[in-house]
Structure 1
Amino acid sequence: MMDNQPSKARYVVVMLLFFHTVNTYMDRICISTAKGAMQSDLTGLTDQMMGYAFGIFAIGYALFQIPAGWYSDRAGARHALTVVVVVWSLFTAWTGFVFTAIGLLVVRFLFGAGEAGAYPGATRALYSWLPAKERGLGQGIFHSGARIGAAASLVLMPIVINAIGWRATFVLNAVIGLVWGAVWWFWYRDDPADHPSVNEGELNLIQSGIAQAESNSGPKVPYIQVVTSTNVLLAMFQYAASNITFFISMTWLRPYIVESWGEKYGWCSSIPLLFGAVALWCSGYLVTALHKLGHPVMSRRLPAMVGYSLGAIGLLMTTQTVGSASVWPFIACFSLALFGVEMTLSPSWAFCMDIGGSRSGAVSAAMNMVGNLGAAVSAVAFPYFVSSVTVPFFAESTGTANSFFLFAATMNLLAVFAWLFMNPLRQLKTITASALKLRLALFIGLFVIVLSALLYTKFFFQSDAGTQPEPVAAEVQEAIEP
């Protein structure tokens, strides 16, 4: 009887991937906290060149999203994630051995390209090991590692840098990544049936859950048709909408709090991130619970719609805290907003697994690529809205972020409507070759627009008068791309 009880090996996969995403943020945030020490040691590393170093990571990261997702699907998560982690760990270590600003730019571009496969590869692994009913909770736990890793690293990295120096800190982070890669290679298997810790009960649970999800996806169609389908295009849009709000917590939130309420309250900027981590767990549980109750479509749609609604409400409430003598009303309202948008991550990535199937890595990479455009828009638009945009009732005069919060709230409400038309059970029908070519051309055009926008916002737009970000915000731009 005991042999019929499913083993728990799939939970080990989830926890390994949780530490995987913690590791990604440790490596990303390290360069932000080491900025001062690096500028003292590296030739030509001015503030502008440091900004280019942060920005060029985003270019490499976006450029290689889809190729990395495709590679994860073809090679399997065991091989792909091992290669990805080893490659970015080596470039992390290499960062500690550069001596010029140009060398740093080269290394950070390669680091971004190497880390592009981190999330698509993990999504592919979760697809192979989790039945559809457990994907929401698995994604929630996985993504919460980024928020916990970011919060912990902002505290720990400065201590480590002060103790052993910035060069040794990059090497130490690389060693941690290499250790994770070794554990992953020796423990993980692409097929759960090949793993000695998986018993018959767990194997049946995984395989039956995946088979049921595959049966709902209809016939196999070309990848470009999947990624240009209504489902995926809407997924791209709503994910960009969530990043517009989330990015603020990683860039402008602390400077805005310090300017409005004083330096002693700067630490409060970490509070919304903790609410975001809790939201990922809650949303993941809700996604899983609804699917187990027999509501596969609603299990994705409802948590996302509730999350975006809470995000919009929190942002609108935030506009009413301007002029408050206390920082806490603002923190409470923005924490509600971030809690809401973070609720949308589990259903979004689970949705990609549902419609992507064996191509989950590439589909999720496409969503993540466009999502980064939302992050870029957020970084550049925030100071512009503060300095130049007024809105009746919400932002009667410039100098506050109310107009931006209203813009972000509007995007969240549009994302609610987007989810009304997203259906993980919608089957794709075969289209003609000419229609497929047209879709391919349009998709390539979209890809070029995304890269052009990242180049423009990360490099050229920052030099415009009145739009250059505060140093604190610039230092953490590299850390936000998921």
Structure 2
Amino acid sequence: MNSNGPSRQRYWLVFLLFLHTVNTYMDRVCISAAKGSMQDDIAGLDDQMMGYVFGIFAIGYALFQIPAGWFSDRAGPRRALTIVVIVWSIFTAMTGAVFTAISLLVVRFLFGAGEAGAYPGATRAMYNWLPANERGLGQGIFHSGARVGAALSLLIMPWLIDTIGWRMTFFANGVVGLVWGLVWWFWYRDEPADHPKVNSEEVEIIKRGLAEAQSSETKVPYVHLVTSANVLLAMFQYAASNITFFISITWLQPYLVETWGSDYALLASLPLLCGAVAQWVSGYTVTKLHGLGLPVMSRRLPAMIGFLLGAIGLLLCTQTVESTSVWTFVACFSLATFGVEMTLSPSWSFCMDIGGSRSGAVSAAMNMVGNMGAAVSAVAFPFFVAKVTFPGIAETPGTANSFFLFAAIINVLAMIAWLFMNPLRELKAISSAALRTRLILFLVLFVVVITALVYTNIVLK
């Protein structure tokens, strides 16, 4: 054992999970970059079918969120995340081997189902290794990888496809995932004490932090927990953040091209990079406040500031429609993205606080509903641009001002929601009848989310 102070293997864990989330988004964005080449090679893959291919991933991803989170809690993050990454990497590689549109649909659905466990599994892994006062920064660094991966994909994937072809690009991405899965299996241990490079001092730091969190962990049934006010509010605010964020990876680039010209298409990556920085800033703030003995405010304050900045940035976007400078708009939208991305670290840390040993399943429930926010964003943006006007903001159709106003209002509501979210709140016992009612309502919510995703990603394509 090392006697020169505590080891720092938990920091390597966070770095490894950062690479994990970079990989998830590079795999997701790759198909957008390969769209044209794939349509040239695959019979029947017109724009309508390509829309179905994009949408079927979101449905598989949302449908398997809770089962994957439950599996991560039951099997342990070492086994669960290894299986999850290997499964989705196989289907990533198989994307490059399809020759019909139908087989592509099947492969992308299974890819989405496989990737559903990526975030819940990682959250469960961090719960085992990170004391409560380090979860904020850990989650911030972890989630920033998604934005880095998405931004890098906008630059790297087109070049890679031109160099080795779209089929080999998917294969290469799959190999990267398989390598990560092997590294995870051989490096990670569910119990830090079992890791050969974790010394006794670091084990003590982790155990002390975990014991503090477990002292407030509830043992109520999962349905009781996931339908509590805390989790329902967490679901709402996470969907709210996605309404703004998903514009960055869906409509922002086409909107820039249509409004200011194709020369500015690459500027769509700037808000993503601002989002990555925001997650580090927010994660540090969460950790700092928790270290000052403010566990509730460490989650609440960064999230509320984030939603406030998001609302301000979106409202500023409404004032740029007359501007001839694309940079003014990009700066305002980057501020909005910076704001909503500040909310991720406190959101996922909050799930770890209230979920405890079931943090995988609790975070999966939040992420599932968050996908509905993404679906609303994808449908609402073009609808608002084409149809919705508002006095003084969007006098005529054709601008995104009315959508920006709508998203700003949602951000304000999410900011208010955080006033009522408290990770230290104890759950009171409820009757069996009340528990059954909650189960029915939760199943209804599940059906609503999946129906919304099917409608927006399949029916409207």
Q: TM-score band, normalised by the shorter chain?
A: over 0.9
Aligned to 1:235: 234
Aligned to 2:344: 345
- What is the alpha-carbon distance in structure 2 between the residues aligned to residue 43 and residue 34 of structure 1? 15
Structure 1 stretches (4+) deviating beyond 3 angstroms? none
Aligned to 2:74: 74
Aligned to 2:210: 210
State the AA in 2 paired with 1:180. W
Aligned to 1:181: 181
Aligned to 1:89: 89
Aligned to 1:328: 327
Structure 1 residue 160, shift from structure 2 partner: 1.3
Aligned-partner SS, 1:249: coil
Aligned to 2:367: 368
Would you say the 8 A contact 2:154–2:269 is kept in 1? no
Aligned to 1:466: none
Structure 1 residue 4, shift from structure 2 partner: 6.6
State the AA in 2 paired with 1:63. L
TM-score by length of 2: 0.99
Would you say the 8 A contact 1:4–1:201 is kept in 2? no
Aligned-partner SS, 1:126: helix
Question: What is the RMSD computed on CA atoms of the aligned residues?
Answer: 1.0
- What is the alpha-carbon distance in structure 1 between the residues aligned to residue 425 and residue 203 of structure 2? 27
State the AA in 2 paired with 1:423. N
2:234 is the alignment partner of 1:255: no
Structure 1 residue 154, shift from structure 2 partner: 1.4
Deviations 1:46-85 (A, max 9, x none): 1111110010001100000000000000000000000000
Would you say the 8 A contact 1:301–1:347 is kept in 2? yes
Would you say the 8 A contact 2:77–2:190 is kept in 1? yes
State the AA in 2 paired with 1:8. R
- What is the alpha-carbon distance in structure 2 between the residues aligned to residue 135 and residue 124 of structure 1? 11
- What is the alpha-carbon distance in structure 2 between the residues aligned to residue 26 and residue 415 of structure 1? 29
Structure 1 residue 306, shift from structure 2 partner: 0.2
1:354-393 alignment runs, 5 A limit: 354-393=353-392
2:418 is the alignment partner of 1:424: no
1:45-60 alignment runs, 5 A limit: 45-60=45-60
Q: 1:454 to 1:173 in 2, by over 3 A?
A: same
2:29 is the alignment partner of 1:29: yes
Aligned-partner SS, 1:416: helix
Would you say the 8 A contact 2:303–2:343 is kept in 1? yes
Aligned to 2:11: 11
Moved more, 146-155 or 257-266: 257-266
- What is the alpha-carbon distance in structure 2 between the residues aligned to residue 58 and residue 271 of structure 1? 24
Structure 1 residue 5, shift from structure 2 partner: 2.0
- What is the alpha-carbon distance in structure 1 between the residues aligned to residue 332 and residue 159 of structure 2? 31
- What is the alpha-carbon distance in structure 1 between the residues aligned to residue 93 and residue 153 of structure 2? 17
Aligned-partner SS, 1:250: coil
Aligned to 1:290: 289
- What is the alpha-carbon distance in structure 1 between the residues aligned to residue 31 and residue 260 of structure 2? 28
State the AA in 2 paired with 1:335. S
Would you say the 8 A contact 2:375–2:453 is kept in 1? yes
Aligned to 2:157: 157
Would you say the 8 A contact 1:319–1:405 is kept in 2? yes
- What is the alpha-carbon distance in structure 1 between the residues aligned to residue 148 and residue 195 of structure 2? 29
Deviations 1:120-159 (A, max 9, x none): 0000001000000000000000001000011111111111
Aligned to 2:447: 448
Deviations 1:330-358 (A, max 9, x none): 11111111000000000000000000000
State the AA in 2 paired with 1:237. F
State the AA in 2 paired with 1:196. P
Aligned to 2:266: 267
2:199 is the alignment partner of 1:194: no
- What is the alpha-carbon distance in structure 2 between the residues aligned to residue 175 and residue 257 of structure 1? 34
- What is the alpha-carbon distance in structure 2 between the residues aligned to residue 5 and residue 216 of structure 1? 29
Aligned to 1:407: 406
Aligned-partner SS, 2:319: coil
Structure 1 residue 3, shift from structure 2 partner: 2.3
Deviations 1:12-36 (A, max 9, x none): 1101100000111111111111111
- What is the alpha-carbon distance in structure 2 between the residues aligned to residue 26 and residue 118 of structure 1? 13
Moved more, 180-189 or 151-160: 151-160
Structure 1 residue 461, shift from structure 2 partner: 2.2
Would you say the 8 A contact 1:59–1:455 is kept in 2? yes
Would you say the 8 A contact 2:26–2:153 is kept in 1? yes
State the AA in 1 paired with 2:35. K
* Count, aligned residues: 461
State the AA in 1 paired with 2:13. V
Aligned to 2:40: 40
Aligned-partner SS, 1:3: coil
Structure 1 residue 267, shift from structure 2 partner: 1.5
Deviations 1:83-136 (A, max 9, x none): 000000111111111110000000000000000000000000010000000000
Aligned to 1:468: none
Structure 1 residue 254, shift from structure 2 partner: 1.1
Aligned to 2:135: 135
Would you say the 8 A contact 1:315–1:333 is kept in 2? yes
Would you say the 8 A contact 1:89–1:173 is kept in 2? yes
Aligned to 1:436: 435
- What is the alpha-carbon distance in structure 2 between the residues aligned to residue 336 and residue 26 of structure 1? 24
State the AA in 2 paired with 1:59. I
TM-score by length of 1: 0.94
- What is the alpha-carbon distance in structure 1 between the residues aligned to residue 2 and residue 366 of structure 2? 42
Structure 1 residue 2, shift from structure 2 partner: 6.8
- The alignment-based identity, stated in percent, is 73
Aligned to 2:168: 168
- What is the alpha-carbon distance in structure 1 between the residues aligned to residue 263 and residue 109 of structure 2? 35
